[in-house]
A and B are shown apart, each in its own frame.
Chain A
């Protein structure tokens, strides 16, 4: 560490610096090429989770709008007796699915969950969500770069007798 590197420390530093800049540049390229595909990125989509309406949340998460499709099957109860735990699942027959997201329109923040579907994973998800009140539920499937949606109305009877 003392004698051999004596005359060249700056040269070495400069080389290292150049190398890491080159690496960073390469690493950034894929993101630069596909800025709209926020959901496909690894980062947690904090901004999308802060949107109040489902339209805004979809826009922030995906940067585009969805078209309704009968190839997206959204399964949810007609009536949920407990809005705190509503079982919801989505399956689709679409090809090249890259993500599936759930939006609860009447919740304080519409986006509930967003799932990344890598190659080889079946495009079907089941989970349990909270619902503040009777609401429209939207499921979005991103397939081959396009968005497809299914909606369903879920009646929530918090503290009720199942009526």
Chain B
């Protein structure tokens, strides 16, 4: 299966801008399906970005983050060609990891 994480990291020499899009239902546990049964909560709790062995950005998410979440941030201290490691875990113990080269 293709990775659930799509990420673009671009450096202008000083600052690296990161945009990430993750495929995940982000169910709140409050919505009913067509049969009137509650869809159990299923959402990403932690999303982490690491670069050169250091956490550069950590997100703690609740159910109010939209389906197929998107996040954008920037950080210093990386250069073109460095690897960015992205990983998430959800409330059901699911997880995914991917790496991206900074362009």
A residues at B contact (CB < 8 Å): 42, 44-45, 49, 84-86, 89, 104, 107-109, 111-118, 120-122, 124-131
Docked Cα-Cα span, A44 to B67, in Å, equals 20
- Interface contacts (Cβ under 8 Å), in number, total 94
A71 CB → nearest B CB, Å:
18
Q: Which residues of B contact A128 (CB under 8 A)?
A: 65-66, 69-70
Number of interface residues of B (CB under 8 A): 28
* Structural contact, B57 and A115, CB atoms closer than 8 A: yes
Contacts A120-B56, A128-B69 given; indicate if A113 touches B62 (C-beta within 8 A).
Answer: yes
* Structural contact, B59 and A122, CB atoms closer than 8 A: no
Docked Cα-Cα span, A157 to B74, in Å, equals 32
B33 CB → nearest A CB, Å:
16
* Structural contact, B62 and A127, CB atoms closer than 8 A: no
Docked Cα-Cα span, A123 to B92, in Å, equals 30
Q: Which residues of B contact A130 (CB under 8 A)?
A: 28, 63-66
* Structural contact, A45 and B60, CB atoms closer than 8 A: yes
B10 CB → nearest A CB, Å:
14
B68 CB → nearest A CB, Å:
9
Q: Which residues of A contact B38 (CB under 8 A)?
A: none
* Structural contact, A44 and B46, CB atoms closer than 8 A: yes
* Structural contact, B56 and A121, CB atoms closer than 8 A: yes
* Structural contact, B55 and A118, CB atoms closer than 8 A: yes
**Closest residue to B73 on the A side, CB-wise?**
A125
Which B residues, 72 to 98, have Cβ-Cβ distances below 8 Å to chain A?
72-77
Can you name 17 A-B residue pairings with CB atoms under 8 Å? A42-B58, A45-B60, A49-B62, A84-B66, A104-B64, A109-B63, A112-B62, A113-B62, A113-B65, A114-B60, A115-B59, A116-B59, A118-B57, A120-B77, A122-B15, A122-B74, A131-B64
